[in-house]
Amino acid sequence: MKWTAILSWLLVSSRADHLPVLPVAMNLFDRFAVACLPLVPRFIVRRLSTRYIAGEQMNQALTVGKNLQQAGYLVTYDILGEAVDHREGVTAAAEEYHRLLEALVEQNLELNISLKPTQMGLNISEGFCFETIARIAEKAKKQGAFMRYEMEDSDTTDATLRVFQQLRSSFGDTIGCVVQSMLRRTVQDCKDLVASDLPLNVRLVKGIYVEPEAIAYQSSNDVNTAYLDSLRVLLEGGAFVGLATHDPALILGAREIIQSIPGSEDRVEVQMLLGVQENLRNELKMSGMPVRVYIPFGTQWYPYVSRRLKKNPRLARYAMMGLFAPKEKLAPLSGQSSEE
Protein backbone atom coordinates (compact mmCIF):
# COMPACT_ATOMS: atom_id res chain seq x y z
CA MET A 1 0.00 0.00 0.00
CA LYS A 2 1.16 3.53 -0.72
CA TRP A 3 0.95 4.75 2.84
CA THR A 4 3.26 7.67 2.07
CA ALA A 5 0.59 9.07 -0.25
CA ILE A 6 -1.91 8.86 2.58
CA LEU A 7 0.49 10.53 4.99
CA SER A 8 1.05 13.46 2.65
CA TRP A 9 -2.69 13.74 2.15
CA LEU A 10 -3.12 13.79 5.91
CA LEU A 11 -0.66 16.63 6.32
CA VAL A 12 -2.32 18.78 3.68
CA SER A 13 -5.97 18.08 4.34
CA SER A 14 -6.14 18.31 8.11
CA ARG A 15 -4.63 21.80 8.36
CA ALA A 16 -7.92 23.69 8.94
CA ASP A 17 -8.82 21.66 12.02
CA HIS A 18 -5.51 22.53 13.62
CA LEU A 19 -5.72 26.32 13.55
CA PRO A 20 -5.77 27.28 17.25
CA VAL A 21 -8.41 30.04 17.13
CA LEU A 22 -11.00 28.19 15.15
CA PRO A 23 -12.31 25.45 17.45
CA VAL A 24 -14.26 27.69 19.89
CA ALA A 25 -15.91 29.72 17.13
CA MET A 26 -16.64 26.53 15.21
CA ASN A 27 -18.20 24.95 18.26
CA LEU A 28 -20.46 27.95 18.81
CA PHE A 29 -21.44 27.95 15.16
CA ASP A 30 -22.23 24.21 15.27
CA ARG A 31 -24.44 24.57 18.34
CA PHE A 32 -26.20 27.62 16.94
CA ALA A 33 -26.87 25.83 13.66
CA VAL A 34 -28.33 22.83 15.44
CA ALA A 35 -30.47 24.98 17.78
CA CYS A 36 -31.97 26.61 14.68
CA LEU A 37 -32.72 23.29 13.01
CA PRO A 38 -36.46 23.16 13.87
CA LEU A 39 -36.86 26.55 12.15
CA VAL A 40 -35.14 25.43 8.99
CA PRO A 41 -37.59 24.42 6.25
CA ARG A 42 -37.51 20.72 5.47
CA PHE A 43 -36.43 21.24 1.87
CA ILE A 44 -33.30 23.03 3.06
CA VAL A 45 -32.43 20.23 5.47
CA ARG A 46 -33.02 17.84 2.58
CA ARG A 47 -30.67 19.90 0.42
CA LEU A 48 -28.02 19.86 3.17
CA SER A 49 -28.21 16.11 3.38
CA THR A 50 -28.19 15.24 -0.35
CA ARG A 51 -24.50 14.55 -0.33
CA TYR A 52 -24.87 11.98 2.42
CA ILE A 53 -28.09 10.22 1.48
CA ALA A 54 -28.50 8.35 -1.80
CA GLY A 55 -32.18 9.25 -2.14
CA GLU A 56 -35.62 8.26 -0.90
CA GLN A 57 -36.07 5.39 -3.35
CA MET A 58 -34.26 2.07 -3.45
CA ASN A 59 -33.44 2.48 -7.14
CA GLN A 60 -31.55 5.68 -6.41
CA ALA A 61 -29.41 3.85 -3.86
CA LEU A 62 -28.81 0.96 -6.25
CA THR A 63 -27.63 3.39 -8.94
CA VAL A 64 -25.22 5.01 -6.47
CA GLY A 65 -24.01 1.57 -5.38
CA LYS A 66 -23.56 0.39 -8.94
CA ASN A 67 -21.45 3.46 -9.82
CA LEU A 68 -19.32 3.03 -6.71
CA GLN A 69 -18.80 -0.65 -7.46
CA GLN A 70 -17.80 0.15 -11.02
CA ALA A 71 -15.25 2.61 -9.63
CA GLY A 72 -13.72 -0.16 -7.51
CA TYR A 73 -15.41 0.36 -4.14
CA LEU A 74 -17.16 -2.14 -1.93
CA VAL A 75 -20.57 -1.00 -0.67
CA THR A 76 -23.17 -1.58 2.01
CA TYR A 77 -26.79 -0.39 1.87
CA ASP A 78 -28.69 0.99 4.84
CA ILE A 79 -32.43 1.64 4.80
CA LEU A 80 -32.95 4.67 7.04
CA GLY A 81 -35.10 4.15 10.10
CA GLU A 82 -34.60 3.67 13.83
CA ALA A 83 -36.45 3.63 17.15
CA VAL A 84 -39.46 1.79 15.73
CA ASP A 85 -41.77 1.07 18.66
CA HIS A 86 -44.59 -0.93 17.06
CA ARG A 87 -44.54 -4.39 15.46
CA GLU A 88 -46.19 -3.26 12.22
CA GLY A 89 -43.44 -0.67 11.68
CA VAL A 90 -40.74 -3.27 12.31
CA THR A 91 -42.39 -5.76 9.94
CA ALA A 92 -42.62 -3.08 7.24
CA ALA A 93 -38.94 -2.20 7.69
CA ALA A 94 -37.97 -5.88 7.55
CA GLU A 95 -40.00 -6.34 4.34
CA GLU A 96 -38.04 -3.46 2.81
CA TYR A 97 -34.83 -5.31 3.61
CA HIS A 98 -36.20 -8.48 1.98
CA ARG A 99 -37.00 -6.42 -1.12
CA LEU A 100 -33.55 -4.87 -1.03
CA LEU A 101 -31.86 -8.28 -0.99
CA GLU A 102 -34.03 -9.41 -3.92
CA ALA A 103 -33.20 -6.26 -5.90
CA LEU A 104 -29.47 -6.68 -5.27
CA VAL A 105 -29.62 -10.24 -6.57
CA GLU A 106 -31.72 -9.20 -9.60
CA GLN A 107 -29.29 -6.43 -10.50
CA ASN A 108 -26.22 -8.51 -9.76
CA LEU A 109 -24.90 -6.00 -7.22
CA GLU A 110 -22.80 -6.58 -4.13
CA LEU A 111 -24.88 -8.27 -1.44
CA ASN A 112 -24.11 -6.31 1.69
CA ILE A 113 -26.63 -4.60 3.97
CA SER A 114 -26.57 -2.74 7.28
CA LEU A 115 -29.48 -2.57 9.72
CA LYS A 116 -30.20 -0.98 13.06
CA PRO A 117 -31.31 -2.94 16.15
CA THR A 118 -34.14 -0.53 17.08
CA GLN A 119 -35.37 -0.52 13.49
CA MET A 120 -35.64 -4.32 13.78
CA GLY A 121 -37.63 -4.29 17.02
CA LEU A 122 -35.08 -4.13 19.84
CA ASN A 123 -37.26 -1.59 21.66
CA ILE A 124 -40.12 -4.12 21.62
CA SER A 125 -38.17 -7.16 22.80
CA GLU A 126 -34.88 -8.94 22.21
CA GLY A 127 -36.73 -12.07 21.08
CA PHE A 128 -38.77 -10.16 18.50
CA CYS A 129 -35.65 -8.39 17.26
CA PHE A 130 -33.80 -11.71 16.92
CA GLU A 131 -36.69 -13.36 15.04
CA THR A 132 -37.07 -10.40 12.67
CA ILE A 133 -33.38 -10.32 11.82
CA ALA A 134 -33.12 -14.11 11.67
CA ARG A 135 -35.70 -14.18 8.86
CA ILE A 136 -33.65 -11.67 6.88
CA ALA A 137 -30.44 -13.53 7.74
CA GLU A 138 -31.86 -16.83 6.43
CA LYS A 139 -32.50 -15.23 3.08
CA ALA A 140 -29.13 -13.43 3.19
CA LYS A 141 -27.31 -16.69 3.93
CA LYS A 142 -28.97 -18.47 1.00
CA GLN A 143 -27.99 -15.60 -1.29
CA GLY A 144 -24.44 -15.32 0.03
CA ALA A 145 -25.13 -11.83 1.40
CA PHE A 146 -23.54 -10.20 4.41
CA MET A 147 -25.49 -8.29 7.10
CA ARG A 148 -24.07 -5.70 9.47
CA TYR A 149 -26.02 -5.45 12.70
CA GLU A 150 -25.23 -1.91 13.86
CA MET A 151 -24.79 -0.30 17.25
CA GLU A 152 -26.90 2.56 18.63
CA ASP A 153 -26.80 4.49 21.91
CA SER A 154 -25.47 2.99 25.15
CA ASP A 155 -28.94 2.14 26.48
CA THR A 156 -29.06 -0.57 23.85
CA THR A 157 -25.46 -1.90 23.95
CA ASP A 158 -26.04 -4.93 26.20
CA ALA A 159 -29.20 -6.05 24.42
CA THR A 160 -27.62 -5.46 21.01
CA LEU A 161 -24.59 -7.61 21.86
CA ARG A 162 -26.80 -10.36 23.35
CA VAL A 163 -28.91 -10.51 20.18
CA PHE A 164 -25.74 -10.43 18.09
CA GLN A 165 -24.25 -13.42 19.91
CA GLN A 166 -27.45 -15.36 19.22
CA LEU A 167 -27.40 -14.36 15.56
CA ARG A 168 -23.72 -15.18 15.31
CA SER A 169 -24.34 -18.70 16.69
CA SER A 170 -27.08 -19.25 14.12
CA PHE A 171 -25.67 -17.51 11.05
CA GLY A 172 -21.87 -17.45 11.52
CA ASP A 173 -20.09 -15.23 9.06
CA THR A 174 -23.31 -14.00 7.41
CA ILE A 175 -23.57 -11.38 10.14
CA GLY A 176 -21.23 -8.92 11.79
CA CYS A 177 -21.52 -6.37 14.59
CA VAL A 178 -20.33 -2.85 15.44
CA VAL A 179 -18.40 -1.63 18.49
CA GLN A 180 -17.85 1.99 19.53
CA SER A 181 -14.43 2.95 20.90
CA MET A 182 -15.84 5.93 22.80
CA LEU A 183 -17.45 3.55 25.30
CA ARG A 184 -15.14 2.64 28.17
CA ARG A 185 -16.40 -0.95 28.04
CA THR A 186 -15.46 -1.59 24.43
CA VAL A 187 -11.94 -3.02 24.75
CA GLN A 188 -13.40 -5.60 27.15
CA ASP A 189 -16.33 -6.24 24.79
CA CYS A 190 -13.79 -6.95 22.05
CA LYS A 191 -11.98 -9.41 24.31
CA ASP A 192 -15.30 -11.14 25.02
CA LEU A 193 -16.18 -11.25 21.33
CA VAL A 194 -12.89 -12.84 20.27
CA ALA A 195 -13.05 -15.37 23.11
CA SER A 196 -15.55 -17.46 21.13
CA ASP A 197 -14.46 -19.80 18.31
CA LEU A 198 -17.20 -18.52 15.99
CA PRO A 199 -16.16 -16.36 13.03
CA LEU A 200 -16.14 -12.68 13.89
CA ASN A 201 -16.56 -9.63 11.66
CA VAL A 202 -16.57 -6.28 13.46
CA ARG A 203 -17.08 -2.74 12.24
CA LEU A 204 -15.01 -0.54 14.54
CA VAL A 205 -16.32 3.03 14.96
CA LYS A 206 -15.74 5.91 17.35
CA GLY A 207 -19.48 6.17 18.10
CA ILE A 208 -21.95 8.81 16.91
CA TYR A 209 -24.00 9.19 20.10
CA VAL A 210 -23.33 11.69 22.85
CA GLU A 211 -22.72 9.62 25.99
CA PRO A 212 -22.04 10.60 29.62
CA GLU A 213 -18.50 10.77 30.95
CA ALA A 214 -19.15 7.94 33.42
CA ILE A 215 -19.34 5.44 30.60
CA ALA A 216 -17.67 7.16 27.66
CA TYR A 217 -14.39 8.85 26.87
CA GLN A 218 -14.87 12.53 26.13
CA SER A 219 -11.53 13.48 24.62
CA SER A 220 -10.66 12.51 21.10
CA ASN A 221 -7.25 11.29 22.29
CA ASP A 222 -8.86 8.78 24.61
CA VAL A 223 -11.39 7.70 21.98
CA ASN A 224 -8.58 7.20 19.48
CA THR A 225 -6.41 5.27 21.95
CA ALA A 226 -9.33 2.97 22.74
CA TYR A 227 -9.99 2.59 19.01
CA LEU A 228 -6.46 1.35 18.39
CA ASP A 229 -6.47 -0.84 21.52
CA SER A 230 -9.72 -2.42 20.35
CA LEU A 231 -8.31 -2.93 16.88
CA ARG A 232 -5.30 -4.77 18.30
CA VAL A 233 -7.50 -7.06 20.41
CA LEU A 234 -9.75 -7.83 17.45
CA LEU A 235 -6.95 -8.52 14.97
CA GLU A 236 -4.92 -10.59 17.43
CA GLY A 237 -8.11 -12.52 18.14
CA GLY A 238 -8.51 -13.40 14.45
CA ALA A 239 -11.44 -11.10 13.62
CA PHE A 240 -12.08 -9.35 10.33
CA VAL A 241 -12.27 -5.59 11.03
CA GLY A 242 -13.98 -2.82 9.12
CA LEU A 243 -12.13 0.36 10.07
CA ALA A 244 -15.12 2.70 9.84
CA THR A 245 -13.53 6.10 10.15
CA HIS A 246 -12.72 9.20 8.11
CA ASP A 247 -9.93 10.16 10.46
CA PRO A 248 -6.58 9.91 8.61
CA ALA A 249 -4.62 9.87 11.88
CA LEU A 250 -6.52 6.80 13.01
CA ILE A 251 -5.97 5.08 9.70
CA LEU A 252 -2.24 5.69 10.07
CA GLY A 253 -2.32 4.37 13.64
CA ALA A 254 -4.17 1.31 12.39
CA ARG A 255 -1.48 0.74 9.77
CA GLU A 256 1.18 0.28 12.46
CA ILE A 257 -0.95 -2.26 14.27
CA ILE A 258 -1.78 -4.13 11.07
CA GLN A 259 1.90 -4.28 10.13
CA SER A 260 2.80 -5.66 13.56
CA ILE A 261 0.34 -8.58 13.34
CA PRO A 262 1.35 -11.05 10.62
CA GLY A 263 -1.49 -12.02 8.31
CA SER A 264 -3.83 -9.30 9.51
CA GLU A 265 -3.56 -7.18 6.34
CA ASP A 266 -6.06 -9.50 4.65
CA ARG A 267 -8.54 -9.06 7.48
CA VAL A 268 -9.15 -5.33 7.24
CA GLU A 269 -11.02 -2.88 5.10
CA VAL A 270 -11.78 0.80 5.50
CA GLN A 271 -15.43 1.88 5.61
CA MET A 272 -16.67 5.41 4.98
CA LEU A 273 -20.00 7.16 4.80
CA LEU A 274 -21.34 8.28 1.43
CA GLY A 275 -20.19 11.82 0.62
CA VAL A 276 -17.54 12.06 3.34
CA GLN A 277 -13.77 12.43 2.83
CA GLU A 278 -13.95 11.37 -0.79
CA ASN A 279 -10.33 12.33 -1.51
CA LEU A 280 -8.99 10.20 1.31
CA ARG A 281 -11.33 7.41 0.26
CA ASN A 282 -9.91 7.55 -3.24
CA GLU A 283 -6.29 7.67 -2.00
CA LEU A 284 -6.87 4.58 0.07
CA LYS A 285 -8.52 2.73 -2.78
CA MET A 286 -5.68 3.65 -5.14
CA SER A 287 -3.17 2.39 -2.57
CA GLY A 288 -4.78 -1.03 -2.70
CA MET A 289 -6.79 -0.86 0.52
CA PRO A 290 -10.32 -2.28 0.15
CA VAL A 291 -12.75 0.59 0.86
CA ARG A 292 -16.45 0.10 1.52
CA VAL A 293 -18.90 2.98 1.14
CA TYR A 294 -21.99 3.09 3.35
CA ILE A 295 -25.06 4.06 1.31
CA PRO A 296 -28.03 5.23 3.40
CA PHE A 297 -31.37 5.77 1.67
CA GLY A 298 -35.11 5.90 2.33
CA THR A 299 -37.94 8.16 3.34
CA GLN A 300 -36.88 8.33 7.00
CA TRP A 301 -34.06 10.76 6.25
CA TYR A 302 -35.40 13.68 8.32
CA PRO A 303 -35.40 11.99 11.75
CA TYR A 304 -32.04 10.44 10.86
CA VAL A 305 -30.46 13.75 9.88
CA SER A 306 -31.96 15.84 12.68
CA ARG A 307 -31.20 13.26 15.38
CA ARG A 308 -27.63 12.98 14.16
CA LEU A 309 -27.19 16.75 14.04
CA LYS A 310 -28.58 17.17 17.54
CA LYS A 311 -26.35 14.44 18.87
CA ASN A 312 -23.25 15.66 17.10
CA PRO A 313 -23.44 19.40 16.30
CA ARG A 314 -20.20 19.28 14.31
CA LEU A 315 -22.12 17.49 11.57
CA ALA A 316 -24.01 20.74 10.86
CA ARG A 317 -20.78 22.34 9.74
CA TYR A 318 -19.73 19.31 7.72
CA ALA A 319 -23.11 19.34 5.98
CA MET A 320 -22.83 23.06 5.14
CA MET A 321 -19.31 22.58 3.83
CA GLY A 322 -20.52 19.60 1.83
CA LEU A 323 -22.93 21.88 -0.04
CA PHE A 324 -20.05 23.83 -1.50
CA ALA A 325 -17.73 20.90 -2.11
CA PRO A 326 -17.55 19.74 -5.72
CA LYS A 327 -19.53 16.62 -6.51
CA GLU A 328 -17.33 13.58 -6.85
CA LYS A 329 -16.81 12.17 -10.33
CA LEU A 330 -16.46 8.42 -10.21
CA ALA A 331 -14.27 6.83 -12.82
CA PRO A 332 -14.97 3.27 -13.88
CA LEU A 333 -12.46 0.78 -12.51
CA SER A 334 -10.52 0.43 -15.78
CA GLY A 335 -9.98 4.20 -16.01
CA GLN A 336 -9.06 4.92 -12.39
CA SER A 337 -5.58 6.22 -12.90
CA SER A 338 -6.43 8.71 -15.63
CA GLU A 339 -9.56 10.23 -14.08
CA GLU A 340 -8.91 10.13 -10.36
Ligand X SMILES: Cc1cc2nc3c(=O)[nH]c(=O)nc-3n(C[C@H](O)[C@H](O)[C@H](O)COP(=O)(O)OP(=O)(O)OC[C@H]3O[C@@H](n4cnc5c(N)ncnc54)[C@H](O)[C@@H]3O)c2cc1C
| CB of 53 or CB of 104, closer to ligand X | 53
| CB of 324 or CB of 334, closer to ligand X | 324
Is 264 a binding residue for ligand X by CB under 6 A? The answer is no
Please list every residue from 178 through 197 that binds ligand X, using CB under 6 A.
178, 180
Of 119, 132, 271, 300, the one binding ligand X by CB under 6 A: 271
Closest distance to ligand X from the beta carbon of 53 (Å): 11
Distance (Å, rounded) from C-alpha 96 to C-alpha 5? 41
C-beta separation of 209 from 152 below 8 A: yes
CA 337 to chain centre: 27
| CB of 124 or CB of 276, closer to ligand X | 276
Is 48 a binding residue for ligand X by CB under 6 A? The answer is no
User: Cβ of 69: how many Cβ atoms within 10 Å?
Assistant: 18
Distance (Å, rounded) from C-alpha 321 to C-alpha 282? 19
Distance (Å, rounded) from C-alpha 300 to C-alpha 84? 11
C-beta separation of 10 from 248 below 8 A: yes
Is 247 a binding residue for ligand X by CB under 6 A? The answer is yes
- Candidates 90, 110, 92; CA nearest to 101 is 110
Is 17 a binding residue for ligand X by CB under 6 A? The answer is yes
What is the total count of residues that contact ligand X (CB under 6 A)?
A: 24
Is 61 a binding residue for ligand X by CB under 6 A? The answer is no
Give phi and psi for 57, each to the nearest 5. Answer: -100, 150
Of 151, 204, 235, 291, the one binding ligand X by CB under 6 A: 151
C-beta separation of 71 from 331 below 8 A: yes
Q: Mapping DSSP to helix (H, G, I), strand (E, B) and coil, where does residue 183 land?
A: strand
Closest distance to ligand X from the beta carbon of 47 (Å): 15
| CB of 94 or CB of 151, closer to ligand X | 151
| CB of 221 or CB of 338, closer to ligand X | 221
Is 244 a binding residue for ligand X by CB under 6 A? The answer is yes
Is 217 a binding residue for ligand X by CB under 6 A? The answer is no
User: Cβ of 246: how many Cβ atoms within 10 Å?
Assistant: 17
Of 69, 118, 132, 245, the one binding ligand X by CB under 6 A: 245
Residue 243 has, within 13 A of its CA and on its CB side, a CA count of 31
CA 280 to chain centre: 16
Closest distance to ligand X from the beta carbon of 78 (Å): 8
Closest distance to ligand X from the beta carbon of 250 (Å): 6
Is 277 a binding residue for ligand X by CB under 6 A? The answer is yes
Q: Binding segment for ligand X among 61-69, 154-162, 233-241, 272-280 (CB under 6 A)? A: 272-280
Give the H or E element holding residue 112. Answer: strand 112-115
Closest distance to ligand X from the beta carbon of 262 (Å): 26
Please list every residue from 65 through 104 that binds ligand X, using CB under 6 A.
none
C-beta separation of 136 from 171 below 8 A: no
| CB of 123 or CB of 271, closer to ligand X | 271
CB contact burial 131-159 (16+ within 10 A = b; e otherwise): ebbeebbebbbeeebbbbbbbbbbebbeb
| CB of 145 or CB of 205, closer to ligand X | 205
Residues in contact with ligand X by the rule CB under 6 A: 17, 150-151, 178, 180, 203, 205-209, 244-247, 271-273, 276-277, 294, 315, 318, 322
